[in-house]
């Protein structure tokens, strides 16, 4: 773990692979940390492979749900939106109590926005604002909603939406 903490990803990956080959008891942890090291290097294909090992081999591991979220996030970074949506949906629907559920929901809206599926993005961002009112994701969803309305040339509707949610827009840029 020292190499991981020092961000010496190549050495960390080598050590995690060695530990897995030796059959350590906590191989789920080694796969998960190895996946994160690959992610730091933007090696998403390798990251995805390691995360899938956690999910497939260790369904009862404490790293299972975080690995599902990280898998969705890896696919998002790789711009594979179909697979990203699949894993984010699993988090939101099967693990709504997990802290990653609100991130997965927000990222779902982000994907729909990137795909120019504005109605879907609006619905998702609304849900984030309503379901997670005191979260960082709520603030991000409010900002993303502005982008959704701008993309549709409906900025005046954004101000109405802010009012309907009771959100002060005196500090937002509606020009």
pLDDT in tens, 123-169: 999 999 999 999 999 999 999 999 999 999 998 899 999 999 998 87
User: How much is the pTM?
Assistant: 0.86
Q: For 71-83, what is the mean pLDDT?
A: 96
Model pLDDT, residue 23: 80
CB 39 within 8 A of CB 50: no
Block residue for tokens 């795909």: 115
Model pLDDT, residue 17: 85
Model pLDDT, residue 85: 98
pLDDT in tens, 93-118: 999 999 999 999 999 999 999 999 99
CA 18 to each of CA 14, 27, 56, 123, 175: distance values in angstroms, whole numbers, following the listed order = 6, 10, 20, 46, 56
Model pLDDT, residue 168: 82
pLDDT in tens, 5-34: 545 677 788 888 888 888 888 899 999 999
Between the two ends of the chain, the Cα-to-Cα distance in Å is 49
Under 8 Å CB-to-CB from 116, ≥6 apart: which residues?
151
Model pLDDT, residue 164: 93
Model pLDDT, residue 2: 46
Model pLDDT, residue 94: 95
Model pLDDT, residue 138: 95
Q: Is the pLDDT of residue 63 over 50?
A: yes
Q: For 55-83, what is the mean pLDDT?
A: 95
Residue 76 CA, chain-centre distance (Å), reads: 8
């Amino acid at each position: 773990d020292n190499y991981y903490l020092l961000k010496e990803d190549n050495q960390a990956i080598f050590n995690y692979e060695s530990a897995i080959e030796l059959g350590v008891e906590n191989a789920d942890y080694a796969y998960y940390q190895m996946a994160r090291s690959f992610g730091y290097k933007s090696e998403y294909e390798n990251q995805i492979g390691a995360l899938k090992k956690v999910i497939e081999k260790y369904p009862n591991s404490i790293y299972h749900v975080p690995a599902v979220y990280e898998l969705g996030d890896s696919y998002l970074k790789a711009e594979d939106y179909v697979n990203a949506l699949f894993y984010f949906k699993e988090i939101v629907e099967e693990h709504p109590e997990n802290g990653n559920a609100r991130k997965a929901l927000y990222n779902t809206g982000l994907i729909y926005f990137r795909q120019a599926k504005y109605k879907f993005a609006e619905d998702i961002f609304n849900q984030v604002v309503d379901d997670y009112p005191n979260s960082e994701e709520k603030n991000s969803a409010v900002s993303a909603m502005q982008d959704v309305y701008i993309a549709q040339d409906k900025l005046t509707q954004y101000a109405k939406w802010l009012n309907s949610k009771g959100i002060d827009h005196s500090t937002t840029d509606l020009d």
